[in-house]
Amino acid sequence: MGRIVGAGLVLAGVFFGGMTAADMGYPNGHKGDVGTLTVQECRTQFERVGSSRHRHARPVDTCTGTFRADRGGAAVEDATVETPAKFEPGTELGVQKTDYRFVMIDEQWIWRSLAIVCVAVCAVVAGLFCLLTGFGSRRGPGFREAWRRVPGGVVVRYVLAGVGGLAALGAGAALLVDGIVR
């Protein structure tokens, strides 16, 4: 059972970390088109969130306008982007055209994405530990015994602890900076 838990953690970490890392190409200009959206109108819609017992509406601001890429090309009319607030008509917003939508990329988005990737690395490390040792099953070894049983001995233990520790520190630092950036 511990190995199944480990496989699940590894798969989840690789999936979520990979999906988030793939989107990290947008803010640094490797993917998509950077440009300007000239606001024509902004609206607030309410999105239902929460469980069936504690459902509430969250306000979501979106602005629609004309997008012009910095690299040139045809303008895109009626481009819509989710924004942190409403803006006056005529305001120019820096946005990114992705493969499937328009996004405002700010520092918070970058820090949150980095935190997700770091947490995914922690999940992969924990999953590998479970896969290698069988830790996590009801009748499996305890942590100390599993830690001593890691194949490869001290070197693999140091690698697992080092990578997991650095990823945890990275996630904490990214979330701390994200909280400060707000």
Q: Which two tokens stand for residue 119?
A: 């947490």
The per-residue pLDDT for range 56-92, each reduced to its tens digit, is 788 889 999 999 998 888 899 999 998 888 999 999 9
The per-residue pLDDT for range 22-62, each reduced to its tens digit, is 877 776 666 778 899 999 999 998 887 766 677 778 888 99
Q: Which two tokens stand for residue 128?
A: 């590998």
Cβ-based neighbours of 116, under 8 Å, separated by 6 or more: 16, 17, 20
% of the chain exceeding 70 in pLDDT: 95
Residue 172 binned pLDDT confidence (cut-offs 50, 70, 90)? very high
Q: What is the pTM of this model?
A: 0.69
Choice among 17-21, 25-29, 46-50, 149-153 with the minimum mean pLDDT: 25-29
Beta bridge partners of 97: 33, 102
Q: If you count them, how many residues does the chain have?
A: 182
Beta bridge partners of 68: 36
